[in-house]
Amino acid sequence: MLVLSGTSVADIVRYAAYLILAVVVPGTLVHRAVRGSRRNLPEDVGCGAATGLVLQLLVWALAAAVGAAALVRWWPLVVIAVFVAVPGLRRHWRIRSPRPLPVRWTWLMSAVLLSAVGWGYHEWRFTPLPPADTAYYQDLMYHLALVHEMTRSMPFQVPQLAGDTLHYHFLSDADMAMGSMVSGVAPAVVLLRLWAVPIIAIAALVLAALARDLTGRWWAGPLAAGLGFAGLPAVLGGVAEVPGGLAVSYVSPSQTYALPLLCLLIAIAVDAFRGGLRAGVWVMLPLLAVACAGAKSSALPPVVAGLVAGVVVAAVVHRRVPWAALGVLVHTVVAILIGLRLFAGGGAGVLGVQALSVLRWMTPYVDTLGVGQGRDKGGLVPLGVEVATTRGAWFVAWLVLWWVLLQAPRLAGLAALGVPGTRSDPVTWLLAGTTAAGAGGLWLFWHPSASQVYFYVGVIPIGALLTVRLLAAVHRSRWAVPGGLAAGAVWAVVVPPTRYPRHNTVVDWFGALAAPLLGAAAAGAVVLVAAMVVCHLMIRRRPWRAIAPAVLAATVGVSLGAAGVTTVRDTWDTAAGAPRDVPDSRQMITREEMVAAQWLDDTAGPDDVVATNVHCSGMRQSPLCDARAFWVAGLGGRRTLVESWGYADATVAAHGANDRSYPQQPAPYPSVALLNDCLFTTGDRAVLAELRQRFGVRWLFADSRADEVSPRLARIAVPRFVSGTAVVYEVPRGRSLAPAAGDGLPPADAGPPAAGAGVAAPTPACSG
């Protein structure tokens, strides 16, 4: 599928070798030494690969701190040499007393991992590798620029605003940077093709290992992995998109990257509650917790809630202080504080409290109660909820219930708090507290870009794990889950496609949302009756005790069956050339522009700064600019003086000012932006000299699609590459740029100020 998506075999082989030799092998060796072997290879490889991700981050941070990025490709040899040379560590090269998993486990996990490949293939075919005429989702280019930034030395800067200090959860980008530096594969290929699916596979294997630990059942692992990483609500919800439908995201690498780290942290927390931790784990734990905080800022707060719940239950119900679990809690809280210091940027600072705010991102609400209200925060609840009539209030309640029903396979495990065999177990409260806190964050907080959804998306695998644990605890019928799988598959094949309601009224929307759920419920009911007959439940003295477990099992089966068929169908349609949405020509980046940016990446020095006239994602936009272009820094691989500022801390913090959303706010350093744009419109030699002296600008990327480019620019800078509407200029060195005497600029020996601190008054050609 990678080959069909335009990935070269050489890149695939190099990246596979990197994954095995630089992530799996050293990580598995260290994991066996620290936590012990799982006594089977697949789970050892999954947990070991997650450990390898943490080790790789440590190596990357040390190399970036001392400016030794060129040495990172050799770090696996150091680990391998230690485990070869030290006699006490050699035993970790093999599994002592192996206990292989059943072949059935292998087949089911292969199906789960193939579904991840199908998901990736769908994204790859609709996201071509550069160069191409296409419109990339802006976050992909933002992350690509960060991947390039992570190959440089600390302190890191915002690639689109050179000199501005970077505050962002950028560790997913650091992982991709390591993959690129070690394997030699281009960062764009790593981001757009090779990175995401292996990360999902690692997370699925860690979750499967944890599920088997908690239940003692071999089938629990594949079932938990399927529930945790399948797009269940999308296949049952029908007409409207569901917030929190999938745990992974192609356009948010940070969300995907957090999952294997978070699953490994939960596994350690479970060990802490059940019997304490080995000494080596306490060395790895702070690194893992900080890695989670730097992977996604929303990852750890729900875990803290779960840890607190587990510790309280252990202390109150079991009358013992779980010191190991308390230590994990302390490490997690400290990691959050460190994350706030190192990683949290302006986007995290605008998070606010507003119950039901996520409704603003649900079409049934937007088209009815929320018409014309926008997504600004407002009061304690959205305006449409605040002024809703009785019928409107019932519709809001239905929307919340609709979401809960679609998420039932992930949320049903919360019922374990009422089951005698699990309700007093601190581990149950750990998982339930984490899941409930994630769902609560989705419904209680507001964010201008709906980023509160990530609180829940990050805990979807944990909720799936709890559901499988409950199912194992109350399991009565071996036929309910397979029967549900069959029913769900049939349902996904024969169900007619749902359509938008004819009228945007609460009544019509109620029916449109209820129809697919009623159909799925009917299919599940048929399976339930069949399972009860086959298992002879009706002749038991108290058959109602088996009904609830059968309903739970059938629900899980129907969801997974429908998800599997939908994944296969989508993959087939994609391979058959399913039509893709044609991007707006204003949003499109041309092949020629990408070629120019890639030439710049191949030619410029690693720390060179580029000035560009590209600022808006739609190129020329009036009267407001959506400052989320990002592709010059992303594809060009170099810091830009002022490209796009839509995600800068100051810009996001100004959301709502002058009735503008944060991407439409003006540039945070207006005097720098004025000089930058003046250079391209006037071709003024003095301006170029100032940009060179103060900010170290070495290259100019001029695009006539973005704005008018002065022909004088070719007289003061050297045109080095022309491709379509894009021209790359090299800024000459030495006296050829020296401004004339008396032009008002500072002397040539004046040191550059800190970026963003302001510049001298603009030259007469640029004033106003």
Pairing state of beta strands 718-723 and 639-640?
unpaired
Please report, for residues 300, 337, 349, the alpha-carbon distance to residue 340 in angstroms, rounded to integers and kept in the order given.
Answer: 11, 5, 10
Q: How many domains does the chain have?
A: 3
Q: How many angstroms separate the CA atoms of 6 and 128, rounded?
A: 8
The pLDDT of residue 532 is: 62
Domain check: are 461 and 566 in the same one? no
Q: How many angstroms separate the CA atoms of 701 and 612, rounded?
A: 5
Domain check: are 322 and 186 in the same one? yes
Contact 629, 643 (CB under 8 A): yes
Residue 385 lies in a domain: no
Q: How many angstroms separate the CA atoms of 614 and 279, rounded?
A: 53
Task: Among 47-51, 270-274, 284-288, 474-478, name the one with the lowest average pLDDT.
Answer: 474-478
Dump the DSSP string for 32-68.
Answer: HHHH---SSHHHHHHHHHHHHHHHHHHHHHHHHHHT-
The pLDDT of residue 238 is: 65
Q: How many angstroms separate the CA atoms of 739 and 747, rounded?
A: 10
Contact 489, 521 (CB under 8 A): no
What is the domain range of residue 342? 9-97+109-352+404-471
The pLDDT of residue 525 is: 74
User: Of the candidates 423, 443, 471, which is a domain's last residue?
Assistant: 471
Residue 375 lies in a domain: no
pTM of the model: 0.92
Q: How many angstroms separate the CA atoms of 156 and 150, rounded?
A: 7
Domain check: are 484 and 435 in the same one? no
Domain check: are 577 and 647 in the same one? no
Neighbours of 498 (CB within 10 A): 15
Domain check: are 681 and 744 in the same one? yes
Domain check: are 559 and 686 in the same one? no
The band of 568, judged by pLDDT with boundaries at 50, 70 and 90, is: confident
* Residue 3 in this model has a pLDDT that exceeds 60: yes
CA-nearest of 520, 521, 554 to 537 is 554
Tokens in use for 406?
């679609």
Contact 386, 377 (CB under 8 A): no
Region 132-158 average pLDDT = 95
Domain check: are 423 and 528 in the same one? no
Residue 373 lies in a domain: no
Q: Which long-range contacts (CB under 8 A, 24 or more apart) does 505-513 make?
A: 505/368, 506/368, 506/369, 506/391, 506/392, 506/395, 509/364, 509/367, 509/368, 509/395, 510/395, 510/398, 512/238, 512/239, 512/240, 512/364, 513/237, 513/238, 513/239, 513/240, 513/364, 513/398, 513/399, 513/402
Residue 129 lies in a domain: yes
Q: Tell me the per-residue pLDDT of 312-371, one tens digit each, with 9 for 90 and over.
A: 999 999 999 999 999 999 999 999 999 998 998 766 668 889 999 999 999 899 999 988
Q: How many angstroms separate the CA atoms of 385 and 718, rounded?
A: 60
Q: Look at 759 and 530; give whichever has higher pLDDT.
A: 530
Contact 215, 468 (CB under 8 A): yes
CA-nearest of 297, 267, 127 to 206 is 267
**Identity of residue 710:** S
* Residue 555 in this model has a pLDDT that exceeds 80: no
Domain check: are 464 and 522 in the same one? no
Domain check: are 660 and 735 in the same one? yes
Residue 4 lies in a domain: no
Q: Look at 600 and 534; give whichever has higher pLDDT.
A: 600
Residue 21 lies in a domain: yes
The pLDDT of residue 69 is: 85
Domain check: are 255 and 148 in the same one? yes
Q: Tell me the per-residue pLDDT of 669-690, one tens digit each, with 9 for 90 and over.
A: 999 999 999 999 999 999 999 9
Report the length, in residues, of the chain.
Answer: 768
**Identity of residue 186:** A
User: Of the candidates 444, 471, 498, which is a domain's last residue?
Assistant: 471
Contact 607, 661 (CB under 8 A): no
Residue 388 lies in a domain: no
Domain check: are 68 and 16 in the same one? yes
Residue 150 lies in a domain: yes
The band of 467, judged by pLDDT with boundaries at 50, 70 and 90, is: very high
Q: With left for phi above 0 and alpha for psi between -120 and 50, is residue 98 left, alpha or beta?
A: beta
Mean pLDDT over all residues of the chain? Answer: 87
Q: Tell me the per-residue pLDDT of 610-649, one tens digit each, with 9 for 90 and over.
A: 999 999 987 776 678 899 999 999 999 999 999 999 999 9
Q: How many angstroms separate the CA atoms of 448 and 375, rounded?
A: 7
User: Of the candidates 527, 555, 582, which is a domain's last residue?
Assistant: 582
Domain check: are 517 and 606 in the same one? no
